[in-house]
Amino acid sequence: MVEVTVTPQSSLADRPVQIRVRGLSPSQLVTLRAWLKDEQGECFQSRAFFRADGAGEVDPGLHAALGGSYSGVWPMGLLWFLQPDTLFRRLVKRDVAGSPFRVRLEVLDGLSLGMEPREQPLASCEAERWYVGPGVQRVPIREGRVRGALFLPP
């Protein structure tokens, strides 16, 4: 049975995570896809093609992506190379304290070039990427023409 995991499943957006796929056939060609919908409902996604090792595993931190949104060894590549489905959109988190980005990770058999996140995956999981840690207080700043926010640790 194919399984994809993200460790830790919930983390701050600037912290690394480990993505691993297990249960594949040795040398099986797969596509790892990451996608999310932002607060306006816009879809962002990335994909990378991998060949499983002799144990039937894929680890983007150890195995080089053969192509897709990037190539080479990039442990966080699936999260760093998220691109919008609509040109000229930017991935921006407006509600940084209230909710995380929920990134869906999927393993697809073979090389998958389809843009729709509706293909039947072999396995999938979800990771939460938070922008504010627990207990951090957000204080709005308005002074003259200056606008911003001060984030105070607990």
Number of domains in the chain: 1
Output the CA torsion 3→57→128→104 (10° steps): -60
pTM for the structure as a whole: 0.87
Beta-bridge partner residues of 19: 6
Banded pLDDT at 119 (limits 50, 70, 90): confident
> Domain containing 85 — which CATH number?
2.60.40.2240
DSSP 23: S
Query: Do the beta carbons of residue 114 and residue 45 sit within 8 Å?
Result: no
Q: Which residues pair with 10 in a beta bridge?
A: 128
SS3 80: helix
Length of the chain as a residue count:
154
CA distance 74 to 58: 12
Cα-to-chain-centroid distance, residue 44:
9
Domain coverage including residue 84: 3-152
| Tens-digit pLDDT profile for residues 16-74 | 999 999 999 999 999 999 999 999 999 999 999 999 999 999 999 999 999 999 999 99
Nearest-angstrom CA–CA distance, 140 and 8? 30
